[in-house]
Structure 1
Amino acid sequence: MPNLKVLMDRGSWGVLKSTIPPVTAPAWTSFITGRNPGKHGCFDFFMPKDNLDVMFPMNSNSICCETLYECLHRKGLRSILINLPETYPPKTSDIMISSLMTQGDNCVFPEELKEEIKQLNNYKIVPKASKDRNEWLKNIRDVERMRFECATKLLRSKEWDLFFILFSGIDWIQHNVYGELRNNPTKHAACVLYSDIDSYIGKIVEEVNDSCNIFIVSDHGFKSYKGVFYINEWLIRKGYLTVGYEPFSARPQGHLLYQELIGMIKNKKKIKPFLNYERTKNIWKIEALVTSTINKLQPFFDIDKPTHPIVRKSVAYCTSSESKGIYINSRSRFKDGIIDSDDYHRLKKRLIDELCHMKDPNSHLLFSAVYKREEIFNGPETQRAPDILLEPADFEICGGVRSRRFIQKNTNGHSMEGIFIAHGSDIKNIQNIHGLNIVDVSPTITYLLGLPIADDVDGRIINEIIKKDILEKRPIIKEKACFPLKGTEYILNDDNEIRNRLKDLG
């Protein structure tokens, strides 16, 4: 990616630490607010509200503190935002093309822009899903090409003080082929997407004048996992999660085999001559062996397959793979909660103790870390987070209900290590900066725009990348944090469209 290399060689760069967990919704919200999720309140795309089994989609009105673009709007500066998560519904009169959580087809604001820039009429938030890899890659490339073309038109024709664009395609493709790309980094078919994005970045840099400061960041990194761990299946087996079951529905021969084995166990007189054993103690050994075999075969025959969690009757539950956490169904938090305050802390401690000692199929610790929510978040919204947060080691964490706890297959997921590159008229040329966090980007941009920093921001100004003369003539000014604006009210009649978008992306 030659254009990225030029920016790195001429500017400053380093590893950017993401949020815990390193997932899209909380990470980008921390980026644009400069605050941890305990202050902005966004922990996942969907979150429980009154009850643990009632999930609501997060949107711009869910963010409980002021964003960078709201701050600029309040100061009379202009923003253009393209594909920034959690920006729907719009909260300012700035130009915005919203992201995944948009309700309905229109994601362009103000809508009149479609008449002025014709490409916006064909703009798509996400690519069309396809099981064919080549077609999927083509669809991603088409979406990103259209995103770039629309961005270029806006760059040239509109006035702005902050311009943001998110190219999501690399994230989408890496979920599918990251491991393959690492093994074949130059010849893999997906490499063409990286060339596309690098080219778009180079052309955008050419469009802006020399006085601009350019930041390139990611909300997380990527890594390969050895398999998948289904946390809700573990909760079921431990008795923490209650589920509904469906009748046996496997192939007829599987059902007959199962019934025959059960019958043999129940009728010891029948099993004895069948296996020609003379001593009764051997019959019990055979019974134990057959029972063990049935248990191993159960996932393949779908015997008593769990179909849905009965959350209101459950002690604990993982609401989604994105959350990387466990909610405890406490009465103090949920209307239909079943865990009393006196039992809550004992239960949480027991869960954490069990999780900390769990091993994967290779006898390695399953989690790199297990946290109480208050250990990693701070702020008034911390109480909305999962009670326990998990950092996976070699096995990615998934929600859902499956008949097996582990699936051993190579899979790809997020990591804590994102990227950070800064280049521009106010930026030094420093290689490989350490100690960067995603919450640091917003206050740094705010400072470079000559604005005061809110007093409740968690991030720091990255002084080490800013030229000395800028720091000397521009003191850091703090101001009292302002309340967030209220976005356009809307009624969510059906969130299936949003869920399907997320499902299509994996």
Structure 2
Amino acid sequence: MFDFFTRDGYDKRLIERPDVDAPYLFEAADAHDRTSLVVNYPVTHPASRLDNGAVVPGYLAREDASFYPEHLREEYENEHGEYRIYPDYGTDDDAVAEYVDVARCRRDMARFLDERYDWDLMAVQFQVTDSVFHDLDDRDEIRRVLENIDEFVGDIIDLGDDDATVLIASDHGMGDYDWTFYANSWLAENGYCETTTGDTQYFRQAKDGLKGTDKDSTEGSVLETAIETAASTASAAGLSPQRIHHGLSRVGLADVVERLLPEDALVAAQNQVVDYPNSTAFQLYFNSLGIHLNVEDRDPAGTIPQEEYEEVRAGLIEKLEHVRDPNGELVFDAVRPRENVYEGEHLEDAPDIALFPRDYRYDVSGSILDMFRRYPHKNHKPEGILLSNRPLNVDGQAEIYDIAPTVAAALGIPVDANTDGEVLLDKKEIVERENWDERCDEYANEQSGEDSSSVEDRLSDLGYME
């Protein structure tokens, strides 16, 4: 997996558990007769059918996703009311209360499951510690949300006995970003990417969709409607949104327009999409920091002959390495071929080129607008946090890969022989290893086949979808 999406040719769909071609830690624990309680972890739908324990799906699942065992949702909601996976992003009401209420569901679910299971592993994920930084600007409001979640984490830790091992980890950090770099616009400007007028399907902002209901398509602000009409008229006259934006930039008005227009109005103005079959290169996954090449005999309508692939890719990498923002600063610390970043049997699924933004201060967007937009905001940083009540043996810096083997060792089960991570706990005995793929293949599920459009709306509201 390289994004929230997987691809079939040029088409994309949101990923589900069966798309992840590896066992999950809690599945390995279940195979060793440990009881796991898993609450709100991403891409855990359809829920694995554990012999021991329970799974409450999280991010990318539909709001009405089934739990496992199936009776858990009904029993929980009879006691605690509605269980919610997603907050109402961008709510006009009390945003702090909205986020805290959703986070409280995690704490209450942990307590609910603790009463019903003699568990070995309790794993609870708080997604809103990420989304508050995408949705809120007020530092005091963000702090109030985080303080409440800190309290909920303490309540969950109290469910363990005195000798329980506790690990608190984040999968990334948060920090300041300055710019958005529109990769497909740059590729179009440099002759790699063709565009066409199309459906702006990745710009849906309907908040009602967060709860699995569709907003009336006739609704929307007068300004948004006016912008959409203007964009269509300009497009018919041969003026694309990026050309309009570029013209405003030349006369010093682009920043003024962006400051005065709400985000949804800017979104409505975008009516250009990538013409994938006729392009040489494009950013297909908007969250992968990667560029795909369109290769003959590999992609459905490939334009690059196989024998020219390496030359075309090397030339594009060199150009991307020298891209500078309007202030003259380099955009990327590194631009690398995929085989220098990834390895393994799914290397062919990776983007052909991997992008590493300078100091992670640049979003890389696939929208067709001008090449740059000045956009100070908060977004993901590579370094997160790791806390424990146990001494950790960290040589240099811990990695996200270290979490699964460390928890496996704490549970007293063999560590996956294929892991890139290390056991961080100070364990004197030799850690046993086994192939989790062979041990856990019975946990594979079939695709759910459920409509994921409401989930895409949630991603759109957080800026993950373009």
Tell me, yes or no, whether TM beats 0.5. Answer: yes
Match of 1:477 among 432, 442, 465: 432
Q: 2:125 aligned with 1:125, yes or no? A: no
Give the alignment's TM-score, normalised by structure 2: 0.80
List per-residue Cα deviations over 1:188-225 (Å, max 9, x = no partner). 12211111011111122222101210100001001101
**Deviation of the 1:396 alpha carbon:** 2.1
> Residues 221 and 419 of structure 1 are in contact (CA less than 8 Å); yes or no, is this contact kept in structure 2?
yes
Structure 1 runs, 4 residues or longer, greater than 4 Å off: 251-255, 292-295, 297-300
* Matching residue of 2:225: none
Cα distance in 1 for partners of 2:63, 2:382 equals 32
What stretches of structure 1 of length at least 5 have no aligned partner?
Answer: 1-41, 182-187, 260-291
> Residues 100 and 145 of structure 2 are in contact (CA less than 8 Å); yes or no, is this contact kept in structure 1?
yes
* Matching residue of 2:391: 428
* Matching residue of 1:61: 18
> Residues 45 and 65 of structure 2 are in contact (CA less than 8 Å); yes or no, is this contact kept in structure 1?
no
List per-residue Cα deviations over 1:368-421 (Å, max 9, x = no partner). 221211112111112111111111126422323233111112121111101001
* Matching residue of 1:81: 38
Q: What secondary structure, in the 3-state scheme, does the structure 2 residue paired with 1:336 have?
A: coil
Cα distance in 2 for partners of 1:352, 1:419 equals 32
Q: 2:364 aligned with 1:398, yes or no? A: yes
* Matching residue of 2:321: 356
Q: What secondary structure, in the 3-state scheme, does the structure 2 residue paired with 1:109 have?
A: coil
* Matching residue of 2:56: 97
* Matching residue of 1:455: 417
Amino acid at match of 1:158: Y
* Matching residue of 1:438: 400
* Matching residue of 1:147: 106
Q: What secondary structure, in the 3-state scheme, does the structure 1 residue paired with 2:334 have?
A: strand
Cα distance in 2 for partners of 1:454, 1:153 equals 31
Amino acid at match of 1:128: D
**Deviation of the 1:477 alpha carbon:** 1.6
Q: What secondary structure, in the 3-state scheme, does the structure 2 residue paired with 1:409 have?
A: strand
Change (3 A) 1:486 1:242: farther
Question: What does residue range 43-58 of structure 1 map to in structure 2 within 5 Å?
Answer: 43-49=2-8, 51=9, 53-58=10-15
Cα distance in 1 for partners of 2:105, 2:115 equals 16
Q: What secondary structure, in the 3-state scheme, does the structure 1 residue paired with 2:348 have?
A: helix
> Residues 61 and 486 of structure 1 are in contact (CA less than 8 Å); yes or no, is this contact kept in structure 2?
no
Change (3 A) 1:120 1:492: farther
Change (3 A) 1:152 1:351: same
> Residues 282 and 293 of structure 2 are in contact (CA less than 8 Å); yes or no, is this contact kept in structure 1?
yes
**Deviation of the 1:107 alpha carbon:** 3.7
**Deviation of the 1:167 alpha carbon:** 0.8
List per-residue Cα deviations over 1:22-49 (Å, max 9, x = no partner). xxxxxxxxxxxxxxxxxxxx11111222
Amino acid at match of 2:331: L
Amino acid at match of 1:201: V
Q: What secondary structure, in the 3-state scheme, does the structure 2 residue paired with 1:189 have?
A: helix
Question: What does residue range 337-352 of structure 1 map to in structure 2 within 5 Å?
Answer: 337-352=302-317
> Residues 28 and 436 of structure 2 are in contact (CA less than 8 Å); yes or no, is this contact kept in structure 1?
no
> Residues 324 and 391 of structure 1 are in contact (CA less than 8 Å); yes or no, is this contact kept in structure 2?
yes
Change (3 A) 1:330 1:206: same
Amino acid at match of 2:407: I
* Matching residue of 1:201: 153
Higher relative contact order (CA 8 A, sep 6+): 1
What stretches of structure 2 of length at least 5 have no aligned partner?
Answer: 199-227, 240-245, 258-265
> Residues 221 and 414 of structure 1 are in contact (CA less than 8 Å); yes or no, is this contact kept in structure 2?
yes
Q: 2:461 aligned with 1:498, yes or no? A: no
Amino acid at match of 1:223: G
**Deviation of the 1:136 alpha carbon:** 2.9
Q: 2:362 aligned with 1:407, yes or no? A: no
List per-residue Cα deviations over 1:304-338 (Å, max 9, x = no partner). 97522111111111123311111111124322222
Cα distance in 2 for partners of 1:251, 1:243 equals 15
> Residues 396 and 413 of structure 1 are in contact (CA less than 8 Å); yes or no, is this contact kept in structure 2?
no
Q: What secondary structure, in the 3-state scheme, does the structure 1 residue paired with 2:335 have?
A: strand
* Matching residue of 2:115: 156
> Residues 67 and 73 of structure 2 are in contact (CA less than 8 Å); yes or no, is this contact kept in structure 1?
yes
Cα distance in 1 for partners of 2:238, 2:350 equals 43
**Deviation of the 1:254 alpha carbon:** 9.2
Give the alignment's TM-score, normalised by structure 1: 0.74
Change (3 A) 1:160 1:315: same
Please give the root-mean-square deviation of Cα atoms over the aligned residues, in Å: 3.1
% identity of equivalent residues: 26
Q: What secondary structure, in the 3-state scheme, does the structure 2 residue paired with 1:47 have?
A: strand
Change (3 A) 1:439 1:120: farther
**Deviation of the 1:296 alpha carbon:** 3.8
Aligned length: 409
List per-residue Cα deviations over 1:340-370 (Å, max 9, x = no partner). 2111111110111011111111111111221
> Residues 414 and 434 of structure 2 are in contact (CA less than 8 Å); yes or no, is this contact kept in structure 1?
yes
> Residues 113 and 120 of structure 1 are in contact (CA less than 8 Å); yes or no, is this contact kept in structure 2?
no
Change (3 A) 1:309 1:120: farther
Q: 2:217 aligned with 1:235, yes or no? A: no
> Residues 100 and 501 of structure 1 are in contact (CA less than 8 Å); yes or no, is this contact kept in structure 2?
no
> Residues 72 and 79 of structure 1 are in contact (CA less than 8 Å); yes or no, is this contact kept in structure 2?
yes
Q: What secondary structure, in the 3-state scheme, does the structure 1 residue paired with 2:310 have?
A: helix
Change (3 A) 1:156 1:479: same
* Matching residue of 1:29: none
List per-residue Cα deviations over 1:468-487 (Å, max 9, x = no partner). xx41xx22222234244444
Cα distance in 2 for partners of 1:229, 1:210 equals 50
